[in-house]
Structure formats: structure tokens, C-alpha cells
Amino acid sequence: MGRMTATSRPKRVLLAAPRGYCAGVDRAVIAVEKALEQYGAPIYVRHEIVHNKYVVQTLEKKGAIFVDQATEVPPGNIVMFSAHGVAPSVHKEAADGKLATIDATCPLVTKVHKEAVRFAKEDFDILLIGHEGHEEVIGTSGEAPDHITLVDGPEDVANVTVRDESKVVWLSQTTLSVDETMETVDALKEKFPQLISPPSDDICYATQNRQIAIKELAGQAELVIVVGSKNSSNSIRMVEVAKQAGAPDAHLVDFASEIDEAWLEGVTTVGLSSGASVPDVLVEEVLEWLSARGYGDVEIVKTADESLTFSLPKELRRDLRAEAAELVKE
């Protein structure tokens, strides 16, 4: 048998594993569902519980109400904080507004908050690598606003100033590109040679694993599709990582219906993955869409096993409706 050329090779999909839901997202989504079951609708949720359109719409149908601020929630109600975490001032707003709270902050974000608090107590200047305006960065910065300076990528390093170059530490948002973050850290280290690194990785296991898997398949695919929402930091990073790893074309889509048939022109191999806030049903829909166009052959590209799970927020074990009613009486 002669060698197969790219054009004679059968069309196929390389499906990344791991992909989709991480432990923090899984916990946050189940927390909203459990709260609705346990306390009844409505359950108010401050900001999107996770950055995924489908998840938010599904929970809305079940009785969750998403608000921008805790101050919008009527007194005597329950408000849940999203997986991205909140600043201490938001906890205070909820208490002032006589709200019972459920904190669905991912434990890996809480870990970064605790690091920020500890280094601030020791009077370090904290250089927080992250994207300006992202909810997680706003929450972490709120833990120690006088000590934290945001560094939004390597090009931002030139503007950074500190009080004492011997007391500087960097921390980061959990959902960044690993490679770009290391570039920023290298630039910071050049400027501040005594810069201290965080005690353990701030970029979480799920973000790292999804980037490793997408790198693995990007070099073999002419087109990479990442399922995820436009405001999902880790999903956007996956598209960037795919392009940097050699994929000639890569796109982020919320749903199969957003895929443009023109992207498939001349494409033999499609790489497919999904961000940490994406339920697998959306990937299955993309697989069906691709199969209908001749890409029925699916090969799994597995680079890691994931088994981490987090227990549900402790507040789900209490009677929060009664607590909220008491708060209004006080």
C-alpha cells in the first residue's frame, strides 16, 4: 500500500482529554442546583456562576437569578458568590443587605486569596499577574488593595514600581496561559532580581492540563475548535495556545451552530476541546455537527487523568432561608 497523502487521509477529529468541567466549576454548578432544591427559588447568584452561556441559561430556567451586585438582591434572600471569588467588601455588602450567603468560590482561587492576605500581612508588594477587569482579579485584589499591583502581561512590566525591591512576590490569576505567565515572570525577575515566587502554582491544574492537551493536538490539526464562552478566560487562552502550538486556524464557539462551514475547507484533521466551564453535551453537539460533514472518525488525545473533586460549600448544610428571615428581623 502506498503512503497516504494529506488529501487522501480520511477526515478525523482529535478530541482532547482532559477537557471541559474542572472540579471548581462542577462544584459551583452543583451548588446552585442543590441550593434551588434545598431552599427553593429564587436563589440569587452574583455574576455568572461560571463563565458559560449555556450553564447560566440552564440555571436561570431552574430559578436562579443572576445579578451584577449583591446590593441588587432584596433583603432576606440568599445570594451565592461565583466560582471566581469575591473581595471581602462584597461579603460586607451582603451582610449589610441582610442576605444569607453561599460562597461557591473555587478552593483554588481561595488559595490565592490566602496567599495575598499572608504576603500583605508581611508587608510585601504583591505583583498580581492577570487580566484587568476579570472578576477573579478584582476579587483577589480586594483582599489587599494597598499591597497589590496588577501586571497584565509582559508589556505591562515596564510600568511596575515597588516600594522595596527586597520584598516583592508575584501571584497570578488561576486561568492564564502558562507560557505567557512565565514570560511575564521572567521580565519581572529581570527588573526585580529578588522577586519571590508563590509557594505553589497559582495557575490551576485544570487550566494547565487543558493547555497541555491542546498543545499536543494543535500540531496535527489544520483547524482547532474550542467550545467555550467569549468571557471565559481559560477558554480564550486555549485558542491562543493552539495557535502558538502550530494550529493554522483556531476558533472559540459557544455552540455547534456557531461553526462556519468555510473553516473546514481543505481541513483533514480537526482538533476539538472545551474550556473548564463547558458541559460535555456541548462538545457532543459539535462532534455530531462534524460527523454530519464527514468527520466521523474520532481519536482521543489523552495527556492526563483528572480525579480531583471538591466538597460542596459548607453553607449548603444549614437552613439558610431561616437565617435570612432572622437577619431581616434583627
Which residues of this protein are in contact with ligand SF4, per CB under 6 A? 22-25, 83, 106, 108-109, 174-175, 204, 206-207, 234, 276
**Nearer Cβ to ligand SF4, position 211 or 268?**
211
For residue 245, report the phi and psi dihedrals to the nearest 5 degrees: -85, 5
Give the length of the chain: 330
CA distance 174 to 109: 7
**Nearer Cβ to ligand SF4, position 13 or 236?**
236
Distance of CA 79 to the CA centre of its chain: 21
264: how many CB neighbours lie within 10 A of its CB? Answer: 18
CA dihedral 291, 297, 301, 302 (to 10 degrees): 90
Catalytic annotation, pick one of 48, 93, 135, 136 = 136
DSSP-derived secondary structure for 36-105: HHHH-S-EEEES-SSS-HHHHHHHHHHTEEEES-GGGSPTT-EEEE-TT---HHHHHHHHHTT-EEEE--
* Residue pair 121/148 in contact by the 8 Å Cβ criterion: no
**Nearer Cβ to ligand SF4, position 109 or 223?**
109
Smallest distance, ligand SF4 to C-beta of residue 288, A: 26
Distance of CA 86 to the CA centre of its chain: 14
**Nearer Cβ to ligand SF4, position 64 or 109?**
109
For residue 183, report the phi and psi dihedrals to the nearest 5 degrees: -65, -45
The cell numbers describing 165, all together, are 525591591
Nearest Cα neighbor of 120 from 147, 87, 149, 88 is 147
Smallest distance, ligand SF4 to C-beta of residue 49, A: 10
214: how many CB neighbours lie within 10 A of its CB? Answer: 30
Which residue of this chain has its Cβ atom nearest to ligand SF4 in the complex? 24
Nearest Cα neighbor of 58 from 29, 79, 83, 37 is 29
**Nearer Cβ to ligand SF4, position 140 or 207?**
207
* Residue pair 15/49 in contact by the 8 Å Cβ criterion: no
Q: For this structure, is 143 an active site residue?
A: no
Provide the sign of the torsion angle of the four alpha carbons 128, 131, 134, 136, taken in this order: negative
In eight-state DSSP terms, residue 296 is -
Smallest distance, ligand SF4 to C-beta of residue 23, A: 5
Smallest distance, ligand SF4 to C-beta of residue 133, A: 17
Smallest distance, ligand SF4 to C-beta of residue 29, A: 10
**Nearer Cβ to ligand SF4, position 264 or 276?**
276
The cell numbers describing 63, all together, are 430559578
**Nearer Cβ to ligand SF4, position 84 or 98?**
84
Q: Write out the catalytic residue numbers.
A: 136
